[in-house]
Amino acid sequence: MKTILLKMAGPLQSWGTSSHFETRKTDYYPSKSAVIGMIAACLGYERNSDDEIRQLNELDFAVRVDQPGHLIMDYHTVAKYKPNGELDKKKSYVTHRYYLQDAVFVVAVGHSDSEFIEMIERGLRYPYFQPFMGRRALPLPADFIIASTDCGVIESLKKEPWKAADWYRQKHSSKLDIYADAELIAGATEIVRKDRVISFSNKERRFSYRIESHLELELEPEGTGEEHDAFAAIGGQDVYIQS
């Protein structure tokens, strides 16, 4: 078994599985379908590469909520124009878009086929298309690839140190929530989520239901966290910009 651990952290994230029309919602933690979409983009799959994308559903998946963040709503004005270039005021409207602010998650994806996982890791390190956290305006952190391990996704998350910011760890306990494919956590609370990818095609996006389980995890005392640093991947704090 081989697992890749990924950190999702930044000012804003959005992981919607039930967005429609003018209201764009977000779930409270990354969805498997969104992570599959990110991996597919990194591997260079087109939106209509249904067979290749569906194979990614077979990945073991789990996410650990290290810092839940806050739900916020923003709005965008959408304008439509007439064929002559004039603004069509009757077809301009406001959309409401929801985000998670200042959240930190550790995502684990794994598979028994080590070559399959190694191919995915190469794609994540050298992406064909630009990956993002739910929406194109929300880039991944530079240090989003944490590590690869030789154990399952749940065991990997249990071993990985807490990634929350220092200020958050000082105010909260290290009891964290894990959400995973149902078969990975026996006897846990089950949740139904419309989160299994059938097609990402622009003509007809389709998803079916998957079942996931919830587990509360108390990290070991030595599992300390870290302050998220946008410059950590390029030299830490000793970075100077000359004017």
pLDDT, tens digit, 9 for 90 and up, residues 92-136: 778 888 999 999 999 999 999 999 999 999 999 999 999 999 888
Q: Does 225 reside within a domain?
A: yes
The segment with the largest mean pLDDT, out of 167-181, 202-216, 223-237, is 167-181
Least confident window among 89-93, 153-157, 191-195, 201-205 = 89-93
> What's the domain range around 120?
2-9+29-65+103-233
CA pair distance 90, 82, nearest whole angstrom: 11
Residue 177 near residue 215 (C-beta atoms within 8 A)? yes
* CB contact set of 81 (below 8 Å; sequence gap of 6+): 87, 88
Is a pLDDT exceeding 70 seen at residue 19?
Answer: no
Q: How many domains does the chain have?
A: 1
CA pair distance 144, 233, nearest whole angstrom: 9
- pLDDT confidence of residue 88: 75
Least confident window among 22-36, 78-92, 117-131, 155-169 = 78-92
Q: Does 89 reside within a domain?
A: no
Query: Nearest 5°: phi and psi at 172?
Result: -135, 160
Residue 106 near residue 66 (C-beta atoms within 8 A)? yes
Q: Does 173 reside within a domain?
A: yes
- The CB density around residue 54, as the number of other CB atoms within 10 Å, is 14
Residue with tokens 């290749």: 52
To which H or E segment does residue 55 belong?
A: helix 50-55
Residue 64 near residue 157 (C-beta atoms within 8 A)? yes
Return the closest-CA partner of residue 185 out of 148, 152, 218, 159. Answer: 152
Degrees, nearest 5: CA angle 180-61-28 = 60
Q: Does 142 reside within a domain?
A: yes
Task: Tell me how far CA of residue 46 lies from CA of 11, 38, 50, 129, 227, in angstroms.
Answer: 28, 12, 9, 10, 36
To which H or E segment does residue 94 belong?
A: strand 93-111
- pLDDT confidence of residue 221: 58
Q: Does 87 reside within a domain?
A: no
pTM across the whole model: 0.84
CA pair distance 230, 228, nearest whole angstrom: 7
Degrees, nearest 5: CA angle 159-183-103 = 50
Confidence band of 237 (pLDDT split at 50, 70, 90): very low
Buried b (16+ CB within 10 A) or exposed e, 187-218: ebeeeebebbbebbeeeeeebeebebbebeee
Q: Does 94 reside within a domain?
A: no
Q: What is the CATH number of the domain that holds 49?
A: 3.30.70.2660
Mean pLDDT of the 11-33 span = 85
* CB contact set of 59 (below 8 Å; sequence gap of 6+): 36, 39, 109, 110, 111, 120
Average pLDDT, the chain: 87
Q: Does 39 reside within a domain?
A: yes
Q: Does 74 reside within a domain?
A: no
